[in-house]
Structure 1
């Protein structure tokens, strides 16, 4: 528990009728701290108000950039004090939301094709491998979704788009 919180509890106990000495001994705080009033919250109020107005105007700017605006207005702050006030006031830059890409199969109008008979739905994929001598191989595999049978496999060092179309026309024919 922080010293400030213990002092608040000691003040509360004193207000309830417990002596200052007893409350301070129980909560392990100095008696001189009971009368202490923080000056920073009063001193920071105009800075917080200015920071809030700038953060509403520029929601993507953080404490560092707002500090520059404050300096232009004549309010000179150190880096650490500006960061402390910014965090204490709860002024956080909202996280950037990434835009989710729409999956064409995920849209409500599109349903994935479900094979109900042989040769109704085919799928093709490229598989990459390498030989012992380091030569790269590219394999085009074409399968029937219903029977899970391989219709065609083409292995080459490079398979261009024209070759894929040619293979698909051969298998269709």
Structure 2
């Protein structure tokens, strides 16, 4: 349209009449595109870098990461617009399941960090077909991943050994929630937790949503770590999972925590770590 109006103007027709004939606004003809905001130019480059590094993250997490890095207060629409203009991959939406509260009536919601732990197993294989069994321990309150231990197999005694080490590092929780796997319902584990003064709670059979915190963590572990890695040994798997666990705890934004990491959440709430006697101290 600009070329048409320009030709008519060269022939002596006024701009107003030329625009009327072309049925275009004079404001549109006079508009001159401004140079792009330097922040937008930088943001496009940074979004490409983040997209390559975090392939499963969507725009809310990308916005949270950029705001944390720069201190800028970005509008989510701005990030979404630039994401679309750069044609960056959009993570596939997962099917939403029926929302059921993850806690049973037998156990109330945790009120402080490291008060209630959730345990479960996730299975994987090495490139050579060797089976790997991973024990995950999650803090319900802060969503901190306390441990992901990789072994070829787990019995009740191995679970006890892992928990005993964690008790020395984090202190004893008040409750431990598990499913009804043979490692968790063993009499040996029940006697040991009773001696430690920890109450062992089992979810109802066939009700994995009652252990929702660790199930949600396993979904993230599978999508963001295990599905993108090839392991040749148990030791290699442990190293990679430990690296990802550190990233999960200290860098990865969590929507339920206001798009901050578990470590930041604990620091903001000014919660003290659990002492060696398992007592919770609050500043």
Structure having the higher Rg? 1
More helix by share: 2
After TM superposition, the score normalised by the length of structure 1 is: 0.41
Q: Between the two structures, name the one with larger relative contact order (CA 8 Å, sep ≥ 6).
A: 2
After TM superposition, the score normalised by the length of structure 2 is: 0.26
